[in-house]
Structure 1
Amino acid sequence: MSSVVQGFTKSLAMTVLSEIGDKTFFAAAILAMRHPRRLVLSGCLSALIVMTILSALVGWAAPNLISRKWTHHVTTFLFFGFGLWSLWDGFKDEGEAEELAEVEAKLNADWKTNTGTTKKNSKDVDDIKKQKRPFLSQFFSPILLKAFSITFFGEWGDKSQLATIGLAADENPFGVVLGGILGQTLCTIAAVLGGKSLAAQISEKIVALSGGVLFIVFGIQSFLSTVDS
């Protein structure tokens, strides 16, 4: 039970500090300004939950593919590496502006491409189309699928995904999944309900430095802990 709690708390703290001000955080915030929030929330959160579970499964399987000792060493290295990376981003203090500008540019280009020439009576037309569509096609709307795909591929290979894999290889995977899902849920809800204004009020530098310190602490703890061969 204690291993589950430890994996849960580590994963929760790591996820929250990694995702605030991340590309997918801003993507969810911007999409929620243009589309129904429930669809954006469903799409983004579904992608993050799937990614968290997949990452934890990879981390859980890693000790079965290579020795437990080596996965422990790799995890320790990842924690120190991500800690230094986050500290560098914090001291550089350019991350948030660059992330926001990049995400806005991509979504604006996509928005202009897909926006029609006029919006007059578009709500009535959408309502009629929605009534004609079957239930499943209403649920899996283009907006939900767009939010899912942007978030899923935006997280692929990201620092938080790799950290989740490393954490699941060294901690209880069930606890890591629960903590990761809760952390992703909190961050996604915050982004959808007002992520842009929230990010403006929270210092990206403080978040990055806090995340860096947290990763370094995890690294030290992992380095000092013993592992069965």
Structure 2
Amino acid sequence: MGFSLMEGFTKSLAMTVLSEIGDKTFFAAAILAMRHPRRLVLAGCLGALIVMTILSALLGWAAPNLLSRKWTHNITTILFFAFGLWSLWEGFTEEGDAEEFAEVEAKLDADLKADKNGAKGGPKADDLKKQQRPFLTQFFSPILLKAFSITFFGEWGDKSQIATIGLASDEDPFGVILGGILGQTLCTVAAILGGKSLASQISEKMVAFSSGILFLVFGVQSLLSAVGES
């Protein structure tokens, strides 16, 4: 089919890194790591991102079987241009990392307060809740599950997820999965180890501009390439 494993890998890696640095899920991982054991937060966040990447790539791989190759190629080209312009617009209108970090932190603080209020009731109430706890949480840490769910649903429908679907429909899906997982791993580890300090050193505007230009380059390349060559 003319797919290139290395091309899919490099495109997916570059797109993922530029899309995820400074993302809300990036900040969520950083904040969770400040309050909970890092290994659990890393396992939960990274597990969610890996599952999301594989699901997105599989959807992209299946798309040509549902639509014609020409249609999926054209849709992917349009998506690249749309996301490129969207990212550039975000670069011009972005209020800054501090506001987004504070917004994510406020949401997590609200969840934490709700958990604390729900935990009131003494030891007997705690024992009762442990007995009533869902089956899965008896084997997986609640912190891991919280990190997984926050990240998974935070990424669902995100620009990077839709772009991964489009990329996998036009490139080698295995390469897209490998590049996406590596990119997600790099970003998540960076967030866990020092997300707040890293975000303060990296300009969100520059990340938005860089990802916008990258998407536009992908769009031009896809526009110039024939369907059979993509």
Could you tell me the TM-score, scaled by structure 1's length?
Answer: 0.88
User: Whole-Å Cα distance in 2 between the matches of residues 96 and 167 of structure 1?
Assistant: 28
8 A contact 2:27–2:101 mirrored in 1: yes
Are residue 55 (structure 1) and residue 56 (structure 2) matched? yes
Are residue 12 (structure 1) and residue 10 (structure 2) matched? no
Residue of structure 2 in register with 1:210 after alignment: 210
User: Whole-Å Cα distance in 2 between the matches of residues 96 and 82 of structure 1?
Assistant: 20
Runs of at least 5 residues in structure 2 that lack an aligned partner in the other structure:
119-135
User: Whole-Å Cα distance in 2 between the matches of residues 43 and 144 of structure 1?
Assistant: 5
| Aligned positions, number | 214
Q: After superposition, what is the alpha-carbon deviation per residue over 1:42-66, rounded to whole angstroms, capped at 9, x for unaligned?
A: 0000000000000000000000000
* Alignment CA distance shift 1:217-1:96 (3 Å): same
User: Superposition pairs for residues 130-149 of structure 1, below 5 Å?
Assistant: 140-149=140-149
Q: How far did residue 139 of structure 1 move?
A: 5.4
Are residue 73 (structure 1) and residue 63 (structure 2) matched? no
8 A contact 2:24–2:154 mirrored in 1: yes
Residue of structure 2 in register with 1:37 after alignment: 38
Q: After superposition, what is the alpha-carbon deviation per residue over 1:18-58, rounded to whole angstroms, capped at 9, x for unaligned?
A: 00010100000000000000000000000000000000000
Q: How far did residue 69 of structure 1 move?
A: 0.2
Q: How far did residue 183 of structure 1 move?
A: 0.1
8 A contact 2:3–2:171 mirrored in 1: no
Q: After superposition, what is the alpha-carbon deviation per residue over 1:94-148, rounded to whole angstroms, capped at 9, x for unaligned?
A: 253443232111101011222379xxxxxxxxxxxxxxxxxx8575100000000
User: Whole-Å Cα distance in 2 between the matches of residues 95 and 218 of structure 1?
Assistant: 26
User: Whole-Å Cα distance in 1 between the matches of residues 87 and 99 of structure 2?
Assistant: 15
Give the residue type in structure 2 aligned to 1:191.
A
> Identity over aligned residues, as a percent?
80
Residue of structure 2 in register with 1:162 after alignment: 162
Determine helix, strand or coil for the equivalent of 2:22. Answer: coil
User: Whole-Å Cα distance in 2 between the matches of residues 186 and 76 of structure 1?
Assistant: 27
- When the two chains are superposed, the root-mean-square deviation of aligned CA atoms in Å is 2.2
User: Superposition pairs for residues 92-107 of structure 1, below 5 Å?
Assistant: 92-94=93-95, 96-107=97-108
8 A contact 1:39–1:143 mirrored in 2: yes
Residue of structure 1 in register with 2:193 after alignment: 193
8 A contact 1:89–1:95 mirrored in 2: no
Q: After superposition, what is the alpha-carbon deviation per residue over 1:58-89, rounded to whole angstroms, capped at 9, x for unaligned?
A: 00000000000000000000000000000011
Q: How far did residue 189 of structure 1 move?
A: 0.2
Task: Using the TM superposition, name which of 138-147 and 26-35 deviates more.
Answer: 138-147
User: Whole-Å Cα distance in 2 between the matches of residues 153 and 93 of structure 1?
Assistant: 23
User: Whole-Å Cα distance in 2 between the matches of residues 95 and 11 of structure 1?
Assistant: 26
After TM superposition, the runs of 4+ consecutive aligned structure 1 residues lying more than 4 A away are 136-139
User: Whole-Å Cα distance in 2 between the matches of residues 169 and 97 of structure 1?
Assistant: 36
Runs of at least 5 residues in structure 1 that lack an aligned partner in the other structure:
118-135
8 A contact 1:19–1:187 mirrored in 2: yes
Give the residue type in structure 1 aligned to 2:111.
D
